[in-house]
Chain A
Amino acid sequence: RKEVEQDPGPFNVPEGATVAFNCTYSNSASQSFFWYRQDCRKEPKLLMSVYSSGNEDGRFTAQLNRASQYISLLIRDSKLSDSATYLCVVNIDTGRRALTFGSGTRLQVQP
């Protein structure tokens, strides 16, 4: 079983749609959680951290369910510029970042 699993997609959605991605992780000792965004042939960039109580950043909402070991990302009112691969990331160590990445979910927002 992979340490971090994501649906690879692609998710093809129209502009303005709401789309949700889920991610499961296998190590119950995982300490911190993130969503990164990666555009084609570019480096990953931090989209948002995921907190136990859930958190929101504009059109993006992240949630964590420790009991079921999954993380979700909700994007509301999708924009063309949201088209990218979204990487679910967990960190087992509370110290320096040795992150474990999922394979990513590709989102294509269509006009």
Chain B
Amino acid sequence: DAGVTQSPTHLIKTRGQQVTLRCSPKSGHDTVSWYQQALGQGPQFIFQYYEEEERQRGNFPDRFSGHQFPNYSSELNVNALLLGDSALYLCASSFTGDSPLHFGNGTRLTVT
């Protein structure tokens, strides 16, 4: 039973560029959430997708956008990258309702 998978594992981008991160949820899960974790900090909630729509959003600018596909997989897009966007981006999936989150291994983004 595959858990949450994320790609790529590592990514280096330049300021101003755009990036797309990908996530496949755990089998049987239909809800995908994205978190940003800066060094030495806890994960910060970006947004959550269910039924291909953004359902909740944290305190992140519009440069951060996402998408969920009919197979429940998801993408996180970040435009006009800033140095401060350098972080570990975590995808977490869950099943509708009150189920625990399962995290992927994350994508480590470095913006130079």
Task: Tell me the interface secondary structure of chain A in the complex.
Answer: loop
| CB pairs A–B below 8 angstroms (27 shown) | A8-B40, A43-B90, A43-B103, A43-B105, A43-B106, A45-B103, A46-B100, A46-B101, A93-B56, A94-B98, A95-B97, A96-B31, A96-B33, A96-B48, A96-B56, A97-B33, A97-B92, A97-B94, A97-B99, A97-B100, A98-B33, A98-B45, A99-B43, A99-B45, A101-B43, A102-B42, A103-B40
Q: Number of residue pairs across A and B with beta carbons under 8 Å? A: 59
B84-100 CB contact bits vs A (8 Å, 1 = yes)?
A: 00000010101011111
Is B63 engaged at the interface, CB distance under 8 Å to the other chain?
no
Query: How far apart are B44's CB and chain A's nearest CB, in angstroms?
Result: 7
Separation in Å of the B93 CB from the closest CB of chain A?
10
Q: Which of chain B's residues have a CB closer than 8 A to the CB of A100?
A: 45
Number of interface residues of B (CB under 8 A): 27
Q: How far is the CA of A75 from the CA of B98 in the complex (A)?
A: 26
The yes or no answer to A87 lying at the interface (CB within 8 A) is yes
| Size band of the interface chain A makes with B | 20 to 34
